[in-house]
Amino acid sequence: MSRERIRWIDNEKGFVLLGVCLGHIGFSWNIFPYISTFHMAAFFFLSGMLFRPNREWREFLMSKCKSLLLPYVILSFFFLFLSPSLYQLSTHYPGSALQNRIADLLTQNDYIHSLLVQIQIYVLDIINGHSAPYVTPLWFVYTLFLLNILWFYPIRLISSRSYGSYWLGAIAILCFVAGWILYMRDINIPFNLPTCITSSAFFVGGFILGKALPDLSKIHLGWLVLMILILAGIYYYGVKNLTSPCIGYIVNDLDHNLLAYTSVSWCGTFLLTLLFICIGRLNKPLFIGRILRLISLNGIAILALHNYILSTMRWLAEIFNRPILANGWGMLGAIILFCIITLPLINRYLYICVGKKKPQST
C-alpha cells in the first residue's frame, strides 16, 4: 500500500476508536448509536485489509504473539490488580466448587479467600477472551489475534488459487450467517469463538477489498460519491428496522432482524471506508488527522486506559455518592489528562516487553 492509503486507514481507525471511547462515556449525541452498529465490524474489516500472510508461519506467529497476545495478557493482568472493585468483598460473587477448593488450600482467612475466588473468576474471563473487568475493550485484541492465527493458512492457500476471492467471499458470507445463527440460538462456546466466527466475516471481507484497493483508487470521485449515497440509503433502512437499539460484538449480541443487521454492519463499514478513501483522494490532511493517527497508533493502550478510567470514576461516584464524578465531560477530561500522562509510560514499558525498539509517539 502507498503512504497515502496507510494515512487514510490510520485516520479511519482513529475515528472509529474515538467513537468507541466517546460512546463508552455515555454521551447522548445522536451519532453514537449509529456508530455502535458497525464500529467493531469496521475495526475487523480494516485489520483484514492490512492482513498479509506472506511470511513463514513461525515468524508470523511470533510477530502476532508479540504485537497482540502479549499486550493483551500484560494489560489484562496489570489492570486486573488495579481494579478497585476487586477488593470490595460486598460485590464478590460465589465461585465454583473447584475455585473455592483452591482458595481453601491456600488460606483460611475469609477476606483473602473471597479475594482468591474472585481473582480466579477474572482470570477465567481473561483466558476466555473477555479480559479483566475494567478493561473489557481488550477483547478486541484477543479476538484479532485469533483471527490472524486461524486465517493464516486458509487465506494464504485460497487467495492464490483461481477465483480465490470468490471463494473467500463465500466463506465470509457463511461465517456471517453462522455467527448470526449462534446468536439466535444463544449458543456460547469457550474462548469467545462465536464472536470470532462473526468477526471472521468482516476480517475476510476486508482482506478481499484490500486486494482490490488499487482498482478502487482509480474510480472517479463522482462514482465514489454515488456509491456512498446508495450505501447511506441502505444503512438508513437497516437502522430503522433494527429490533435492538445497540449491537454488542463482545458477546456476539447481534440483532434478530438479519436483513437489518446486514444492512447496518456491512453498509456502515463500507460507507465509512469509502468516506475516508474520498478524503484521502483529496490529498488534503484532515483537520484532526494527526490526533486520529495518534489514537490509531496507540490503540491497544487507549482501549485499556480509557475504559479503566471510566470504570474507576463510576465506581468512585457510586461508593462516595458523588454523581459529579461520573459526569461525561469530567470523564472525558480525565481520559485526555491521564492519556497524556500515562501513554508514554505504557508505551515505553509495554513495547519493551513485546520486543519493539521504538514506542509510538504520543
Residue 118 domain flag = no
The 10s digit of each residue's pLDDT in 2-44 is 444 468 888 889 888 888 887 788 765 556 567 778 888 999 9
Residue 360 domain flag = no
Q: Which of helix, strand or coil describes residue 124? A: helix
pLDDT for residue 206: 95
Number of structural domains in the chain: 1
Rounded to whole angstroms, the Cα distance separating 215 from 163 reads 17
Nearest residue to 69 via CA among 293, 300, 296: 300
Residue 221 domain flag = yes
Mean pLDDT of 137-146: 95
AA letter at 44: F
pLDDT exceeds 50 at position 186: yes
Residue 270 domain flag = yes
Under DSSP, the state recorded for 253 is: B
Which range has the worst mean pLDDT, 36-40, 92-96, 161-165, 180-184?
92-96
Nearest residue to 335 via CA among 308, 315, 306: 306
Residue 111 domain flag = no
Residue % of the chain over a pLDDT of 90: 44
Which range has the worst mean pLDDT, 67-81, 165-179, 308-322, 334-348?
334-348
Tell me how far CA of residue 133 lies from CA of 158, 195, 328, in angstroms: 39, 18, 20
pLDDT for residue 29: 54
Residue 94 domain flag = no
Provide φ and ψ at 248, rounded to 5°: -115, 100
Residue 35 domain flag = yes
List the domain range (segments joined by +) for residue 166.
3-85+134-353
Residue % of the chain over a pLDDT of 70: 88
| Contacts (Cβ under 8 Å, ≥6 apart) of 84 | 312, 315, 316
Q: pLDDT band for 361, please (50, 70, 90 cuts).
A: very low
pLDDT for residue 349: 64
Q: The pTM is what?
A: 0.90
| Contacts (Cβ under 8 Å, ≥6 apart) of 281 | 217, 221, 224
pLDDT for residue 179: 96
Mean pLDDT of 265-271: 93
More confident: 250 or 345:
250
pLDDT for residue 338: 83
Query: 174-204 b/e with 16+ CB inside 10 Å = b?
Result: ebbeebbebbeeeeeeeebbbbbbbbbbbbb
Q: pLDDT band for 92, please (50, 70, 90 cuts).
A: low
Helix residue ranges, H only, the chain: 3-25, 31-35, 39-49, 57-64, 70-80, 97-106, 110-127, 139-150, 152-159, 164-184, 193-216, 221-241, 258-262, 268-281, 289-297, 299-319, 328-353
Residue 113 domain flag = no
